[in-house]
Structure 1
Amino acid sequence: MYGATKFTVGGSLKLAFRPWVDGLGNVPADGPAILASNHLSFSDSFFLPAVLHRKVTFIAKAEYFTSPGVKGRLTAAFFKGVGQLPVDRSGARGAGEAAVRSGIGVIERGELFGIYPEGTRSPDGRLYRGKPGGLARVALATGAPVIPVAMIDTEKVQPPGKIVPKLIRPGIRIGRPLDFSRYHGMEHDRFVLRAVTDEVMYEIMKLSGQEYVDIYATVMKRQLADEAKADKEAEKAEKEAEKTEKAGKKAQRDETAEQRRSDPQ
């Protein structure tokens, strides 16, 4: 099913968007490897597999596989067809452990495992701090090489919240494999995990040319949501104040008119 779905989806994407790719030879023809990519758009998980000659398995939230109805079944079939694995993200720690186990399983089968170290899509096109729990642990537990990947302009193809994509040509830059075998067996050392993750993010930054922000994307998203909420509340308060002011002026005009009627002078 994967082959047929990849042929259909991949062929359609390449025909419609003509994505360019640089460094395709850095992906091994066989054997396990981890593809660590920046994350700009929902479509990243489709454009990258479309240009590769091998299957790459990404982690996807379990809701894509469990939604009810005909649409839900079609969505689940599609995500399974393009090689995505469901992970329950209801608990942060549980989700991380599930992602690590799934990643190790993919690597042990000698396949390509795709992961977004930022943990979520960038809210503004910048590159955010990588989370050390998934990428580094899988790399150190398996000894698999990490291949940095930069998605280019995919956020312009399908901006967050937009369903219909724009016909803009995106790009993909694939860097040289990174070897972390010197840290093998140290997947529980948080300082090593941080060092490995930061090294990968640095390589992604060089490939993508993105501005780097040394906070997690999830933190920025919360900040932006809080700011949007505060702006909305301020706008509402301003409108209420204007409404109150207008009501006060009207009441004053009505009172003045009433006084004039009662005092003809």
Structure 2
Amino acid sequence: MPPLYSIGKVTVGPALLLGWRPKVEGRENIPTTGGVILAANHLSVADEYFLGAVLPRHVAFWAKAEYFDGTGVRGLLTKGLVTGLGAIRVERGGGRAALSAFDGAIPLLRSGRQVAVFPEGTRSPDGRLYRGRTGVARLALAAGVPVVPVGFVGTAQIQPIGSLWPKLSRGTVTVRFGKPLDFTGRGDDRSEMRRITDEVMSEIQQLTGQEYVPRYAPPRTAGGARTGDGQPGNGNGDAAG
């Protein structure tokens, strides 16, 4: 476990558990050893906090490349933070640069680590569950590890989009873990990856009860607004493929 993440497990983690007392269901579904992809819906930045707090093992999250390349005091602090937490670098451009996130995640999974993925590619703008991107399928097939669907309920009320910090007394947070999905032996053509991704999203929907939207969520722009083109965006470091 990265050193800074270890510190967070005995400081920030207990504070989250004590302050918000999240309900956790199905934690026994997560393998205690071996690599696993945690594929979750994405309602709030708080999703990452609570996922890390309720699981004993290290969870590797994605972080946009700018966080690793900052300059000045703030940039150096941010770089130290994401590096110390064991984050996976994500390039915001397309093509080969974007695939570097998978290059970073696959060795971790093959070595027995946990990697969190938000297949929607960004936080939901309205609380609904949007179509998943096929990166979760590509990652599972390439690394040869199971996918555990994760459902967050209530995190958008705890920390709405635009809020810098979680809010106390804003409802109950529930984190649900589904049974592992094993895609060993499945094909890796585009149509099969689409089917695998849709299966994962269906399992997530059963955990959350969200209304499903059969289109991609509009990405957030650098200024925080959303565009309507439905193209991939990593403005929040939410690499899902």
> Residue 127 of structure 2: SS of its match in structure 1?
coil
**Normalising by structure 1, what TM-score?**
0.77
The amino acid of 1:42's aligned partner reads V
Q: 1:95 to 1:14 in 2, by over 3 A?
A: farther
> Residue 11 of structure 1: SS of its match in structure 2?
helix
In structure 2, what is the Cα distance between the partners aligned to 1:153 and 1:9? Answer: 19
In structure 2, what is the Cα distance between the partners aligned to 1:76 and 1:13? Answer: 24
Residue from 113, 125, 128 that aligns with 1:126: 128
CA positional deviation for 1:182 = 2.6
Which one has the bigger helix percentage?
A: 1
Residue from 42, 47, 50 that aligns with 1:44: 47
Q: Determine the structure 2 residue equivalent to 1:153.
A: 154
CA positional deviation for 1:145 = 0.5
> Residue 61 of structure 2: SS of its match in structure 1?
strand
Contact 1:5 1:78 survives alignment (8 Å):
no
| Residues 174-229 of structure 1 deviation map (CA, whole Å, 9 limit, x = unaligned) | 0000011131xx33x100110000000000000011100011012694239xxxxx
Contact 2:89 2:104 survives alignment (8 Å):
no
Q: Determine the structure 1 residue equivalent to 2:197.
A: 197
Q: 1:18 to 1:196 in 2, by over 3 A?
A: same
The amino acid of 2:227's aligned partner reads R
In structure 1, what is the Cα distance between the partners aligned to 2:11 and 2:66? Answer: 24
Which stretch shows the higher mean deviation, 152-161 or 211-220?
A: 211-220
Higher relative contact order (CA 8 A, sep 6+): 2
**Matches of residues 173-252 of structure 1 in structure 2 within 5 Å?**
173-183=176-186, 186-187=187-188, 189-218=189-218, 221-223=226-228
Residue from 55, 59, 65 that aligns with 1:56: 59
User: Is 1:97 matched with 2:99?
Assistant: yes
In structure 1, what is the Cα distance between the partners aligned to 2:205 and 2:228? Answer: 23
Structure 1 stretches of 5 or more lacking a match? 225-265
| Residues 5-27 of structure 1 deviation map (CA, whole Å, 9 limit, x = unaligned) | 33222122112221111011111
User: Is 1:82 matched with 2:122?
Assistant: no
Contact 1:5 1:81 survives alignment (8 Å):
no
CA positional deviation for 1:151 = 1.0
Contact 1:135 1:197 survives alignment (8 Å):
yes
CA positional deviation for 1:95 = 4.9
In structure 1, what is the Cα distance between the partners aligned to 2:130 and 2:217? Answer: 6
Structure 2 stretches of 5 or more lacking a match? 221-225, 230-241
The amino acid of 2:74's aligned partner reads K
CA positional deviation for 1:43 = 1.8
Which structure has the bigger radius of gyration?
A: 1
> Residue 191 of structure 2: SS of its match in structure 1?
helix
The amino acid of 2:82's aligned partner reads F
Contact 1:6 1:81 survives alignment (8 Å):
no
In structure 2, what is the Cα distance between the partners aligned to 1:114 and 1:166? Answer: 24
> Residue 178 of structure 1: SS of its match in structure 2?
coil
The amino acid of 1:83's aligned partner reads G
Q: 1:52 to 1:96 in 2, by over 3 A?
A: same
Contact 2:46 2:166 survives alignment (8 Å):
no
In structure 2, what is the Cα distance between the partners aligned to 1:95 and 1:11? Answer: 37
In structure 1, what is the Cα distance between the partners aligned to 2:16 and 2:97? Answer: 30
Q: 1:51 to 1:95 in 2, by over 3 A?
A: farther
**Normalising by structure 2, what TM-score?**
0.85
Residue from 10, 14, 36 that aligns with 2:13: 10
The amino acid of 2:32's aligned partner reads A
Q: Determine the structure 1 residue equivalent to 2:118.
A: 116
In structure 2, what is the Cα distance between the partners aligned to 1:95 and 1:215? Answer: 25
Aligned length: 220
